[in-house]
Amino acid sequence: MEIQQELSIHETYYHEITSWKSILLKIDKDLRHIDILLQSVTSKKIEELKINIKKFKELYKNIGLQVVSHDLELNGIISCGVEYCDEFNTEKHQMISENISQFLKSYKKLLSQIKVYSDALLKIDKN
């Protein structure tokens, strides 16, 4: 019964990691699109936005590495002792889950800034 519960927990972790990877792929695509758009505009506000995007990309890279590393560790779960792996992976999974939550908040904030700048640019273009 305990082994079945272990598999269930790790299956849950695997599904969450798969979801995180999907989110990161979408964000990567968004960042590429944003880079292309930013190449066509220059202003002080855009320069500030570029700095924020650069910082966010570092955060993106870091969180991506955490997810990939954790995924690899879970794939090797069979090779370690169940109690140690369970405790270690649970703590690590919770930490990464919290990091992902913070990361997504940062992403929403960045998108909000981009929207504000985009709206301002559209108003300028209309005039």
CB proximity list for 6: less than 8 A, separation 6 or greater: 82, 86
Sorted by where each begins, the domain ranges of the chain are 2-126
Q: In angstroms, how far apart are the furthest CA atoms of the chain?
A: 69
Task: Find the distance separating the first CA and the last CA of the chain, reported in whole Å.
Answer: 69
| Closest residue by Cα to residue 62 from 36, 18, 13, 95 | 95
Residue 120 has what pLDDT? 74
Residue 85 has what pLDDT? 60
Torsion sign (Cα): 48, 49, 52, 54: negative
pTM: 0.73
Q: Are 70 and 96 in contact (CB under 8 A)?
A: yes
User: Which parts of the chain have pLDDT scores under 70?
Assistant: 1-7, 76-86, 88, 121-127
The pLDDT tens digits for 2-33 are 555 555 777 888 899 999 999 999 999 999 98
Give the integer Cα–Cα distance in Å for 1 and 107: 41
| Closest residue by Cα to residue 63 from 31, 109, 17 | 17
